Structure 1
Amino acid sequence: MGVPPIASKYPIQVGSANVLGGRDKQQDDLLVQPQLFISKDGLPVHLFAVFDGHGSDGHKSSTATKKLFLEQIAAHQSTVLIDPIQTLVDIYRIVHKALLEDSSIDSYMSGTTAVVALLVGNTLHVSHVGDSRLVVVRCENGIYSGTQMTSDHTCEQSTELDRVRATGARVEQLQNGDHLDGPLRIFKGSLPYPGIVVTRSIGDSVATRLGVLHQPDVRTIELTEHDTHIILATDGLWDALTVKNIAEIISQIPSAQEAATELTNIGVRRLNQLHLDDNTTVIVVERQRMTASGDRF
């Protein structure tokens, strides 16, 4: 779903898409909120986020988390730009607590990842838990490239693995016939659950006792005139395409909405070829620059 170009000194176009893939239920959700509020400097503050739910109530978890983030960031607009790291850490704590206390959602073994981005002029504040990602695509001398701005919170990261194992959790792959297969998962002792892949998430009350955190990584990025696109996506896209693939696709597509749709469609086809089933959700934010005379380029 596209958003009309936002007219300002820092105009943007936004496109988004999400598909079921081979799943029976859509557990992803997304948040596109241009001009959520205006900064003290008179700049529009844009909010973008993707959520990848998991567990029996994963769909409820991602949808509830989306609503909670929108409410909390709006409520913290006086501090989120002054002290983004502490404010976003506080917001994640509030959202996590609210999700666990929501009696309509079984959060014992259900939860969601989150990538939440605030764009203010050339400044991008990025926070995340889990393995959904944010990538910045740049064009320099006509050559497009991408850089991943988030690090997956999984047991593939040694610091994450060490923390989880220190709680006594069992970490291993699933048995597939006579061999182990798939990503490392977290289990409670000798029990066959929760089997969660991510080491940080919103919700998942049983996993919090196994070292799974709700505290996000937060960073601030100063974008340059060469940084043309911001991509947020759930792991359905990243399991299918590399950052280089995505930059190449972006370079050939003229609009944010077309890019989001094409990335999603190509990603799903690639997942099918790999015999993987997953929801895929993508947000593409295209930045447009202006010359001193007001012309876009």
Structure 2
Amino acid sequence: MGCCVSTSSRSTCSSGSHGEANAVSSTCFEIGFCGTRKTNRTFSDHAIAVQNLPSVPNRVFENGKSRTSCIFTQQGRKGVNQDAMIVWEDFMSEDVTFCGVFDGHGPQGHLVARKVRDALPLKLLSSMHSYQSRQNESVGSCLTGNSKKTDGRDSEKDGFEENRLNCSWREAFVKSYKAMDKELRSHPNLDCFCSGSTAVTLVKQGPNLFMGYIGDSRAIMGSKDSNGSMVTIQLTVDLKPDLPREAERIKKCKGRVFALQDEPEVPRVWLPFDDAPGLAMARAFGDFCLKEYGVISIPEFSHRLLTERDQFIVLASDGVWDVLSNEDVVEIVLSAPIRSSAAKALVDSAAREWKLKYPTSKMDDCAVVCLFLDGKMDSESDYEEQGFSSATLQSNDSGNGVESDDGQKSEPCLPRNFTVRTLEECDSYGRPVPAGFEGNAGTVSTEDQNWSGLEGVTRVNSIVQLPRFSDERPNP
């Protein structure tokens, strides 16, 4: 359901110029799968190809690298890895790249994150195609009239084209996010009532950067200033419940926003009639127990024109940002011995910082995408000289599970994710019971037995506990 894009219309034109803001033709959307210049794939062809989505060329979703990026994820100490990521080059045409990082939470958060990773890009393609098909005829007439008024000047026409492209991507992001959440709500085999996922996604089309995001995963950019010094630019806003506009919306919907006494730095969203689930973000896919109380899946959207000074973009889940600053991340990417190792270097650095800064807390999952804007990656000789191999970076040893034929991964045999507190794991006061204490279900490793002090420090937890719905609820 919603896993493929199809249309009866066939493309009748070839790829246009790929270095201009209006690189997307209003009459066709070509899906390049082979990376060759004369690609004539259409949406109908793509609908057949997605039946085996993991094998689509130029689509990377496991630890490894592509022509212009590297990605890496590592499981934390809470159970199955709930982070997912993707880089899809030649996403719509040769100059279009899609990137995304998704951080799941709740009992089925890992499945939600992977479902969004696979389905959201396709919905974005479908939404963009639908918008362009609808606007094609009217845009053509507008451009004709505009060209007559400019008396040979192209500046207004170029501005119109850029604005049109911006509007089309904005609508595509909003509609695709809405469709993604709708599919999760009606999914027959995926319970998203108390599970969900963040998303930070971007589309790079020539010099244009379009971004849509929900939750607290973040994107930053490393760029050079006029003096040639590297500066850090934060591209997204962490959509936490305590942001004034987010808190106002939630409270208007009768949701509650407050932080627990033992974690005053983590504001959470609570049901109006129960101290649950305690979601640490204001927007997310899924989490339908809170959708009537102010949590939404409408993305924030932004458009940016890239320049030659812009060097790279980093997308990462909050497991990285909890322990590394934006400046730390830029410095680590710059100091990586080769570009292919930048994402892994970031995750390794985050893991070390978790042990140093929060030695009694369980490390969160980490996922990183590093996109280099000059379109260059290491040569194979540089890759081998540093002792890296494709097998090393692409090994699936980070708790991601095994990919099945339909693009979903089977859950590995790991402990349940501790981001969700059930009643059995709480004492009489509703506080989490530390690992290793009597009554904690499941086999506990020696390492986990030594860890006990601050399980209640939920900076590593997106949800405190599942809702406990009572028979009587206050009247609305």
For normalisation by structure 2, the TM-score amounts to 0.56
Residue 24 (structure 1) aligned with residue 79 (structure 2): yes
**Structure 2 contact 198–283 (Cα < 8 Å) conserved:** yes
For residue 239 of structure 2, what is the amino acid of its counterpart? H
Task: Describe the superposition over 1:221-274 as per-residue Cα deviations: whole angstroms up to 9, x where unpaired.
Answer: 101101000111110111111111112222222533211111111011112222
After superposition, the Cα gap between the structure-2 partners of 1:4 and 1:150, relative to the gap in structure 1 and judged at 3 Å, is closer
1:93: how far off? 0.5
CA contact (8 A) 1:225 1:289 kept: no
Measure, in 2, the Cα distance between the counterparts of 1:190 and 1:76. Answer: 38
Name the structure 1 match of 2:207. Answer: 122
Give yes or no for contact 1:199–1:213 (8 Å, CA) kept in 2. Answer: yes
Describe the SS at the equivalent of 1:183: coil
Amino acid at match of 2:212: S
Of residues 280-289 and 217-226 in structure 1, the stretch that sits farther from structure 2 once superposed is 280-289
Q: Is the 8 A contact 1:37 1:77 kept in 2?
A: no
Task: Kindly provide the CA deviation profile for residues 116-152 of structure 1, in whole angstroms up to 9, marking residues without a partner as x.
Answer: 1001111110000010011111134442221111111
Whichever residue aligns with residue 288 of structure 1, its letter is D
1:218-257 aligned within 5 A: 218-257=301-340
Q: 1:137 aligns with which of 218, 222, 246?
A: 222
State yes or no: 1:51 paired with 2:116.
no
**Structure 1: 5+ residue stretches without partners:** 6-12, 291-297
1:66-105 correspondence runs (5 A): 66-78=117-129, 79=131, 81=165, 83-105=168-190
In the other structure, the counterpart of 1:295 is none
Report Cα offsets for 1:48-103 as digits up to 9, x if no partner: 00000011110111011111112212323434756111111000000000011112
What is the alpha-carbon distance in structure 2 between the residues aligned to residue 234 and residue 270 of structure 1?
15
The corresponding residue for 1:150 is: 236
Query: Which residue identity lines up with residue 291 of structure 2 in the other structure?
Result: T
Letter in 2 for 1:162: E
**AA of the residue aligned to 1:117:** L
Per the alignment, residue 114 of structure 2 pairs with 63
**Cα pair distance change 1:289/1:260, threshold 3 Å:** closer
2:279 to 165, 190, 196: 196
Q: For residues 70 and 86 of structure 1, what CA distance do their matches in structure 2 show? A: 14
Distance in 2 (CA, whole Å) between partners of 1:149 and 1:31 is 18
Asked if the contact 2:128–2:169 (Cα under 8 Å) also holds between the matched residues in 1, the reply is: no
Residues 242, 257 of structure 2: 8 Å contact kept:
no
Structure 1 stretch 246-255 or stretch 187-196: which is displaced more? Answer: 246-255
- The residue type equivalent to 1:264 in the other structure is V
Q: Which runs of 5+ in 2 are unaligned?
A: 1-62, 133-164, 377-476
> How far apart, in 2, do the equivalents of 1:91 and 1:231 lie?
23
Q: Give the deviation of 1:186 after TM superposition.
A: 1.0
Q: CA deviation at 1:165?
A: 1.4
SS of 1:270's equivalent in the other structure is: helix
1:3 aligns with 2:3: no
Deviates more, 1:221-230 or 1:154-163: 154-163
Percent of aligned pairs with the same amino acid: 26
State the alpha-carbon separation in 2 of the partners of residues 193 and 289 from structure 1. 46
**Once the 2 structures are TM-superposed, how far is the Cα of residue 164 of structure 1 from its aligned partner?**
0.9
Distance in 2 (CA, whole Å) between partners of 1:53 and 1:192 is 21
* 1:182 positional shift: 4.4
Flag the 1:207–1:24 CA change in 2: closer, same or farther, 3 A: same
State the partner residue of 2:345: 262
Flag the structure with higher helix content: 2
3-state SS, counterpart of residue 152 of structure 1: coil
More strand by share: 1
Contact 2:333–2:345 under 8 Å retained in 1: no
Deviation for aligned residue 1:25: 1.3
Q: What letter is aligned with 1:256?
A: R
Partner of 1:278: 364
Query: RMSD value over aligned CA atoms?
Result: 1.8
Bigger relative contact order, structure 1 or 2, given CA contacts below 8 A and separation 6+?
A: 1
1:157-190 CA distance string (max 9 Å, x none): 11111111122222222243xxx54411111124
Larger Rg: 2
